[in-house]
Structure formats: C-alpha cells, structure tokens
Structure 1
C-alpha cells in the first residue's frame, strides 16, 4: 500500500464537520480554508469516498510548489512521477483556477500542465505520438493561489453530493452534503423523532435516515478511482463489505417530512424509495402552521424559503410568524432553521440559542438553533 497526501474539499463553513468525519474514520487531519488534508493509503481513498457525508470531493495531492513563470510551471510539473499514477491509456483532462497569482490565465496554465504531463509520459512509455486517452478518468487540477501551484487528481469523479437517489428535484434543491451537515450539527439521535416541515424533494429526511441506520452515503454509486490501476479491486470490495457490515438496517426510525406543495411531496416519496428508505420516512402535504406532534424530545430541521425573490418577501415573513406560533408549543423539541433572512428571529418570535454561519451555494445563511428541554433519560 502506498501513502498519499489526500484532500477532502469542503464548502465554506463545513470544514470542521468534514474534519470530524475524517477523524472518525481513523485519519489524523488538518483543517484549512475549504479543505481538510490528511495522509492515507488506497484503502483511505475508497473509505473516504464511500463514507464522507459532508465533503465535496476526495483528491490526491501530487505536488505543491511556487510558480511565477510558465517555464517554471512546465518544468516542475514535468519532473513529477506521473507514471506512478497514470497508465498509458489514461484519460487525463486538466482543469484549473488561479487566484491572486502572476500566472492568471487559467487556460494557459491548463495547457502547460497538460503538455508537461504528456512529455513526461512520452519519456516513460517510450512514445513519440499523442496519447489516445481511452482508459480510466484521472482528472488533474492545477490550482494557483498567491503563486503557489497545487496539482491534484480527483479521486471522486462526480461530486460526493451525488448519492444517486435523486430522481427529481425542486427549483432550489439543498445539496445532499449540506443537508447531512445540518443533521450532524444537531443533537438528533436515531431513537428520537425527526421532522422536516419544508422537505422539498426529501433530501434532509433521506440523509437523516441514512445517518440513522449508518448507511455509507456513497454505497450505491461509482467513483473515478474505482477504475485506477494502482488501486486493487479488492480494496474497493473490502471497503464496500465494511460499509455493508456497519449498516444498521434494523434501527427503527421516526422520520417525517412535509411540504405545502403536493408535487414536491410526490417527488420526495419517489426519491425516498430510490434511496431504499421508502418504508422508513413518512411524507405528507401540509402547511407549516398546521404542524402538530404527539411525541416529545424530537428534532425539527428546515430549509424554508428565504424570500429572496421580489414579491415573495411579505408572504415568507408571514409564514415565519406562523411557524413561530406553531412551534412555540413544542418546548421539548429542538428546532434548527436555515435561512438568509436577517430578521428571522424577530419574525419567528424567539431568540435563537445559537447561530451558525453557513453557505447554501453562494447564499450566505444562518442556521438558527432553538434548543428544547433536555430529555430526562440518562445520557441525553
């Protein structure tokens, strides 16, 4: 087994949660802006792709160096042992980004890195011609930040939020990774009731069910690195067997979701069945003001409309007030609402116990946390 510098990329504000997940898999890590870095072998690549709920991607860091000129970028890239990663038939597109760097032309940086890799491969594979690139995908990224070039290979392929269960979605779907993060930021445990009153396409309840039964979020999808020749098939087989063994399919769950739009409720049900959770989650059409619960000590998580569009604001503000009135009776429940509306607490009628800044895509939001009474049960 080799040792690799690995990067789990993360949305702004989620780095600490990703780091906690990485550590729970047994890997020591460091937290930086937008990423968590750690050392791991081929098994770590497979396990992190399968298990990380809140990370965006897993990447292998090939190198990091200063680059002020295109010549420097070319020579330092060419000097890297690309033959350790790329077989002769590898498909290796190069993507890039540049921030506050002398080499600001991304397209030029991409072309130079591509040429440097090709030249190195020509020497190693003793070829004069260009490569056909008919094999497995090794997507290379050149990222320049303040003249420091970081070269990585993407081990995930599609982003890790693509769990494979979303058949359909609404206009502004919540990313699965953010939905999982919202749940992990709460005090919810699988033996407690869980409700999402703005369920949309069902992402939050589905992610809660997967967390509740300890199902690896990447279990039903494929990853780019599954086709890589330096990661034996057995590594992936063993990682999937481990995931299957650790799943707790017998864990009973009390998870429900509701939405004002009957079409979204139908979509949520379809997505839930696709995720294998169809019998575990109850979905129904309902306005938030009509919500009432019989159980106690549950958790409500919601991503309500923010009122960002013109003409929606008054309607949304009225709904926030109704929500506050409906939830005021639920004193044993903990309530978590994600919104960009800065007047949410005033409209809801209560000050949050705690607020946490998060980004929903490019929208700056706050997770308003209203903690309910503690359960009298021991350890709660």
Structure 2
C-alpha cells in the first residue's frame, strides 16, 4: 500500500523480482482493507501516509489469527514514528518483518523477505484453520504422556567465567498437527487453569535433562518460566523445592523467570513468593524487562539474580539513539545491582556486537540457536 503510484510500482517490482510471489498493490487505504478482507495475504507492505485510511489505521485493522499476515512498514517519517508503528502491530500479535525508511532499497526488501522466510520456519507453522481448540483432558494427557516437552534455548555467555545456561521452553509434539509452539496452546493452558501443572512438567523434564547432562560431564543451569499469578499459592515455593530435592537436583542450578501477564499475583503474595523462592536457593529472573508491567521499582525491590532484556529493546537500540542510550543504561544498572544481564531475541550480528560493547553477560536468540531438544543442547555446548 503506497499513496504515490510511481513509488507503488517500484515497490511491487522490488518484491516481485525476488522469487515467485503474487504481488498486488493499492494506492487507497480503504480499498486495500477491502481487498485484505477478500483474500488472505502472507505479507503486507504498507506506508504510513496512505490515502483514505492511514498506515496506522491499516495496521489496527489487520486480522489477528493464526493466519494473520506478516507486516513490513515503510515511511519517510522519523525513526521513532516507525518504531511506534511497529509497536502497534506487535502489541496486536502481528509479526513485523522490517521497518524500512524510504526510499526503499533492494537490500532492505531482500532482508524483509528473508526475515519472512525465517519466520515461517520458526514461529508461523501452518495450522488447520484460524485456531486450534484444545480442552482440559487433551492438555493433561499431553503433559502426562510426554507429548508436551521441554526444549532448551542456549543462553550464550558473552563474558568469561560464566558457565553453561539455557532456558526451558514448552513444545508440543502433537500426533495430528505436528510440532506446536506455545502460541498454539498456552492460551488453552491458561483458560483451563493448568499453568501449575505445566510448570511442574517443565521442571521435571528439566531436572531429568540436567541429570543426563551431568552424567555426560556437562553442568548446565536452566531457567524455567513461572507466571506470577502462581505466587498467590503460598505453598508453591515449598512444593517446587521438594520436587527438585526429590529428583536429586540442585536449586542453585534452576532459575525461575517471572513472566508478566494481565492477571498478576497480589502484591504481597508476589513479594512473599519471590523471597521464599530465593530463600530455597533458586535463581530468580525479571523476564522481558522493558515490556508489560515491568518497572524499575519492582526490579530493585524483588530479590532477582538475573535481568532479561526484552528483544524489542535490542531491536530499537540498533535504529534509534535514544533507545541505544536506554539499553546501555539498563545493562549498567543490572551490572551495578550484581545481576546477570541476559538479552533475548538476538537475531543479528549487529545486535550481538552492541550487547558485547555494553557489557551484557549472556545472549539468546535465533542468531545463536533456536530452542532444541535435550540431546542437541548437549552437542551445542560441547561444540561452543
């Protein structure tokens, strides 16, 4: 979508020339939205200044489902506006492949198409229909029979004298639909109130993996996601500690990443649970710092051992000086507080170099490795 017909023609040529793509174009935003409603597109490229309906309104009107299109945003607007437009899309769950300043270059177009191709492999699996509906019994059975598994993403050390570490991420090897990523089933887990059971499942598989790795001579600390609403259960820290000790595990080799959501624990329960987890010897990470409900006060007031930087902060720091300064400040704050600072969502060499320059301790993301099975993670660390 592009208001200037000449620019629209050039943009269409750039995208059409990179493989066998069916490309359509519109100079009118209202007509473009009508066409999007008539036909599912894989990738939408839009400027911000579009006649009829502007680019922000187009982004807000895009469908949100398992088959929603990916997005490329182009504009002559200042970088902060491009970043803001990307935030509009990402907050609605629409994957943004690139934010490209005008005039477009073939290099930028190629990068956007490459990012889209990778996203199809990684996080946009083909699904039969717009959504998959899973009910309580099927979810419980998947956790009990081993279909729902802990895969592990390396947290690569950027400084010396740090041991091996990884994050446990849920994957479902579904007998009918194949490998499902969390986006396909986590909402059902939450709807059925099964977060605690999933936590126990991921922790049990993590402890078993750590035993296997230790037998092979590898000591790998693992982070496990813990949604904060579970801290409303005052017995949770004791139960988790008992589970670890029963499996001959070491709480010091487990770090719980407190994930944020719209239904957080009551404030008193949050701080009580966090303190008691630390008293049991577990590590504790502030997950996705700079997004959601995270705040500097909570970071300082909670006994964290680790600070995880949200991937969007790293992407923004590459493009905008203000975000770059903010990233540097947050990394230095974490270091001064004695926290291990981990950057997630690292996808480019430029991002990795910037993190190393700022003194970040660890990095994880597709540039280093996606989440992989327990045997593969052992091979990864032996080779690194």
What is the TM-score of this pair, normalised by structure 1?
0.34
Structure with the bigger RCO (C-alpha within 8 Å, sep 6+) is 1
Higher relative helix content: 2
